[in-house]
Structure 1
Amino acid sequence: MFVARSLIRSGVMSATSGVVQRLEQRAQLADEIILRLQQQVGQLRRTIVGREEQRLAEENSLLRQEVTQLKATLVGAETRNGVKQIPVPKAGSTVAASAVKPPTQPAASAKAQAPAQAPADQKQQGAPENQKKKEKKEKPKKEAKKDGKQDDQAAAEVDFRNLDLRIGKITNVKKHPDADSLYVEEVELGETQPRTVVSGLVKHIPIEEMQDRMVILCCNLKPAKMRGVLSQAMVMCASSPDKVEILSPPSDAVPGDRVCCEGYEMSESFPVQMNPKRKIFERIQPDLKTDDKLQATYKGSLWKVEGKGHIVAATMANSGIK
């Protein structure tokens, strides 16, 4: 009997030690899994941070380029208006300027030490000095008036030449996944890559008529996201509160052809991207209209593709364009 009890106890103890050993093994395995997960999470965090830094660096580079272009445009406009470009003084020039000022003090003391002249001589000399002072006071006012005129001239320069209008072909079109009233189009412009354009034309133009259609695009608006999709241009249309029609180019126009306007000489380079804060397009748009012959105009001057023909609407005469 005693022997049987001893055997039972030894069996229970051996079984218990086996369970404990398995539990310890599982705990060690769990620790290893947790460590690997922590390492993977850390690697994912570093990857995400690196991508975000790269994206921000690219955005900064684009902003620098935009600022450089805007500076060049501003300098060109000021030069055409006769504004003299004064270089920014360097650090050394301030030292040189300060070194020139002290000699004026001995001159002032020399005047103070000069002998007094007769009252008649003082009156004769005083008159020219008073006139010089008046002239100095009047000069800043004249310069201020000139600056005001130059600002008016700069504002008057906003016209059709600020628009980058080109012929494009819609090679693919589909409805926006998150907006029932929007199309998402891929448009060929003769560039290395097609541009993505988002247009609110679903209620006006059937999707079958959008596919492979030749259109006029405004290409230098600032790209903007429309319900999550970045739009890189705008389809130009004749528009009224009740109806919208896409403008049509000449039949022999090809993607990449530039649209110009009679009486407005275009430069060889494309216009720079328009700054939304200056409201350039909003200032030009009220003068964009179709005439009674359905032809697109700016202040009465016809749009055209050089050597190929004019831009027209299908049926909408005397309508706004946007």
Structure 2
Amino acid sequence: MDSDKTFHPSLSAALMKLDPEDGGRMMEYFQTHALLAREKALLQASVREQKKLLVENGKLKKDIEELRHELHDKQRRRVAKAVLSPNKPAGSPTSPAAATASLPTSSAGLKGGRKVAGGQKEDKKAAPEAYPIRAAPTSDISRLDLRVGRIVSVRGHPLAANLTVQDVDVGEKAPRSVVSKRRPDDVQPLTGSLAVLLCNVKACKVKGVALQARLLRCFQSDGAVELLAPPAGSNPGDRVTFLNYPGEPERELKATQRVWDRVQPSLRVDAQGVANYKGCGFQVKGKGVCRAPSLTNCTIGCT
């Protein structure tokens, strides 16, 4: 400050006049206190700036994740277009002249090449692919829409004695119907119990009854079967997530991509009864992990 040159000497002189012995020490104390106050203000400003940067970084990560999913969707659409029309770039103009030039005028034109204007022949060359087919996105657990559901009702299938139908509330306007096999040694789901469901399967009908989701069950080698249970305090519609596999699930799993078939072999219940995928636990955020009620060291599947 510019006023330090005039303020401090006058303050020092006043202190020395009031207390010749300790005036110098008091002046040093005031100066030290002023420096500490200034450093504290700078530190507080730095902390505020750091918090602001953390919030901005969080928003940027979210935007990047959304862009990544959009890019994957675009790549899948491009691969599909390339499979359907591998020799024709998407969006290429098709004029009558171009169409006429691409057709051979006689059988002779097929032997030595394609006829062009002027009667000359053009050497046959392999046309490069417009859109090279890329590998499909990695199939992992983040592509599955796993949610907590509460079983509203259980009834037998009207047309099949070995099937049961469950209406399950997953936090939507109407319950989803699940069709599952009835086994003699299977613990049948009870009305009001909680379960974990795979919700982005393609809807279909099983002997006339709609199937809109699948229940996850634990299967032991000796034939014992039971429902996978979400943590206590879970509510219908709660997402089951995986710390090491973030991201939003697919809207609907495509049968051709066989995502479930690739993921299912890595779904296990460990020695503590905790459900996991490649060692990463099934968790409902803020409420805990999903478990098998009594089984351990078994596989997880859906019915």
Q: TM-score range by the shorter chain?
A: 0.5 to 0.7
Aligned amino acid, residue 292 of structure 1: A
2:270 to 279, 291, 297: 291
Q: TM-score normalised to the size of structure 2?
A: 0.57
Matched with 2:174 is 193
Q: TM-score normalised to the size of structure 1?
A: 0.54
2:200 to 220, 223, 227: 220
Aligned amino acid, residue 256 of structure 1: G
Matched with 2:93 is 90
SS state of the match for residue 256, structure 2?
helix
Conserved 8 A contact 1:180-1:202: no
Matched with 2:286 is 307
1:252 to 233, 249, 255: 233
How far, CA to CA, are the matches of 2:253 and 2:186 in structure 1?
Answer: 28
How far, CA to CA, are the matches of 1:94 and 1:216 in structure 2?
Answer: 60
Conserved 8 A contact 1:287-1:299: yes
Matched with 1:282 is 261
Aligned amino acid, residue 262 of structure 2: R
Residue 212 of structure 1 and its aligned partner are, at CA, apart by: 0.7
The structure-2 alpha-carbon separation of the partners of 1:72 and 1:187, relative to structure 1 and needing over 3 Å to count, comes to farther
How far, CA to CA, are the matches of 1:312 and 1:201 in structure 2?
Answer: 22
After superposition, residues 68-147 of structure 1 pair within 5 angstroms as 74-76=73-75, 88-91=91-94
Runs of 4+ displaced beyond 3 Å:
71-74, 76-79, 90-95, 204-207
Conserved 8 A contact 2:186-2:224: no
Residue 205 of structure 1 and its aligned partner are, at CA, apart by: 4.4
* Alignment gaps of 5+ in structure 2: 1-69, 79-88, 102-116, 118-125
Residue 240 of structure 1 and its aligned partner are, at CA, apart by: 2.8
The structure-2 alpha-carbon separation of the partners of 1:93 and 1:289, relative to structure 1 and needing over 3 Å to count, comes to farther
> In terms of mean alpha carbon deviation, does 257-266 or 219-228 score higher?
219-228
Q: CA offsets per residue over residues 82-120 of structure 1, 9 Å max, x none?
A: xxxx7512346986xx9xxxxxx9xxxxxxxxxxxxxxx
* Alignment gaps of 5+ in structure 1: 1-70, 80-85, 99-104, 106-136
Equivalent residue pairs, number: 204
Aligned amino acid, residue 231 of structure 1: L
Give the greater-gyration-radius structure (CA): 1
Matched with 1:236 is 216
How far, CA to CA, are the matches of 1:191 and 1:204 in structure 2?
Answer: 32
Residue 236 of structure 1 and its aligned partner are, at CA, apart by: 0.2
Aligned amino acid, residue 240 of structure 1: Q
Conserved 8 A contact 2:187-2:226: no
> In terms of mean alpha carbon deviation, does 232-241 or 249-258 score higher?
232-241
Conserved 8 A contact 2:187-2:227: no
Residue 180 of structure 1 and its aligned partner are, at CA, apart by: 2.5
Residue 76 of structure 1 and its aligned partner are, at CA, apart by: 4.7
How far, CA to CA, are the matches of 2:163 and 2:289 in structure 1?
Answer: 28
Aligned amino acid, residue 261 of structure 1: F
Aligned amino acid, residue 74 of structure 2: V
SS state of the match for residue 261, structure 2?
helix
Aligned amino acid, residue 286 of structure 2: G
SS state of the match for residue 273, structure 1?
coil
Aligned amino acid, residue 287 of structure 1: S
How much identity, in percent, do the aligned residues show? 31
SS state of the match for residue 285, structure 1?
helix
How far, CA to CA, are the matches of 1:206 and 1:297 in structure 2?
Answer: 21
How far, CA to CA, are the matches of 1:169 and 1:292 in structure 2?
Answer: 26
Matched with 2:140 is 159
Residue 280 of structure 1 and its aligned partner are, at CA, apart by: 1.7
Conserved 8 A contact 1:183-1:202: no
SS state of the match for residue 186, structure 1?
strand
Residue 220 of structure 1 and its aligned partner are, at CA, apart by: 1.2
Residue 204 of structure 1 and its aligned partner are, at CA, apart by: 3.8
How far, CA to CA, are the matches of 2:203 and 2:242 in structure 1?
Answer: 24
Matched with 2:158 is 177
Aligned amino acid, residue 249 of structure 1: P
Conserved 8 A contact 1:181-1:203: no
